[in-house]
Amino acid sequence: MTKGYKMPEGFLWGGASAAHQMEGGWQEGGKGLSIADVMRAGAKDVPRIEDDKVLDGEVYPNHWGVQFYSHYKEDIKLFAEMGFKCFRLSIAWTRIFPNGDEAVPNEAGLAFYDDVFATCKQYGIEPIVTLAHFEMPLKLVKEYGGFRNRQVVDFFVKFAETCFRRYHNQVKYWMTFNEINNQTSWRDAHPMLQNSGVIFKEGENKEEVMFQAAHLEFVASAQAVQIAHAIDPTLQVGDMIAMSPIYPLTAKPKDVMMAERAMRYRYYFGDVQALGEYPQWLLNYWDQKGYQIDVTEADRAILKAGAVDYIGFSYYNSGAVEYKDDNPDMVYDEPNSQVPNPYVPRSDWGWQIDPVGLRYAMNWMQARWNKPMFIVENGFGAYDKLEDDGSIHDDYRIKYLSDHIAEMEKAVVIDGCNLIGYTPWSAIDIVSASTGEMKKRYGLIFVDANDEGQGSFERRRKDSFYWYQKVIKSNGAEL
Ligand code: P53
Q: Is the dihedral of CA 234, 377, 160, 263 positive or negative?
A: positive
Decide: helix, strand or coil at residue 264. helix
Distance of CA 96 to the CA centre of its chain: 20
377 included as an active-site residue: yes
Half-sphere exposure of 31 (CA within 13 A, CB side): 26
Residue 339 Cα to ligand 1 middle (Å): 20
Distance separating alpha carbons of residues 372 and 175, to the nearest angstrom: 13
Distance separating alpha carbons of residues 476 and 409, to the nearest angstrom: 8
Among 23, 179, 217, 334, the one annotated catalytic: 179
Question: What is the tally of structural domains in the chain?
Answer: 1
Amino acid at 38: V
Asked if 16 contacts 427 with a C-beta cutoff of 8 angstroms, the reply is yes
Decide: helix, strand or coil at residue 131. strand
Among 217, 377, 407, 437, the one annotated catalytic: 377
Decide: helix, strand or coil at residue 279. coil
Amino acid at 111: A
Q: What is the pLDDT of residue 184?
A: 75
The structure's pTM equals 0.96
For ligand 1, whether the C-beta of 425 sits within 6 Å is yes
Q: Domain for residue 164, yes or no?
A: yes
Q: What is the pLDDT of residue 187?
A: 55
φ, ψ of residue 423 in degrees (nearest 5): -125, 100
Distance separating alpha carbons of residues 367 and 187, to the nearest angstrom: 29
Distance separating alpha carbons of residues 26 and 107, to the nearest angstrom: 16
End-to-end CA distance of the chain: 5
Task: Return the CATH number at 335.
Answer: 3.20.20.80
With a CB cutoff of 8 Å and minimum separation 6, the contacts of 445 are 75, 78, 427, 428, 429, 459, 460, 461, 462, 465
Q: Domain for residue 377, yes or no?
A: yes
Distance of CA 397 to the CA centre of its chain: 19
Q: What is the pLDDT of residue 371?
A: 98
Q: Which residues of the chain have pLDDT under 50?
A: none
Residue 62 Cα to ligand 1 middle (Å): 14
Q: What is the pLDDT of residue 50?
A: 87
Residue 305 Cα to ligand 1 middle (Å): 30
CA angle (274, 278, 283) in 5-degree steps: 160
Closest-lying ligand 1 atom to the alpha carbon of residue 178: 20
Q: What is the pLDDT of residue 423?
A: 98
Give the structural domain span for 102.
Answer: 12-473
Q: What is the pLDDT of residue 193?
A: 61
Q: What is the pLDDT of residue 191?
A: 55
pLDDT of 260-319, one tens digit each?
A: 999 999 999 999 999 999 999 999 999 999 999 999 999 999 999 999 999 999 999 999
For ligand 1, whether the C-beta of 379 sits within 6 Å is no
Q: Domain for residue 60, yes or no?
A: yes
Q: Domain for residue 390, yes or no?
A: yes
Residue 251 Cα to ligand 1 middle (Å): 30
For ligand 1, whether the C-beta of 84 sits within 6 Å is no
Q: Domain for residue 2, yes or no?
A: no
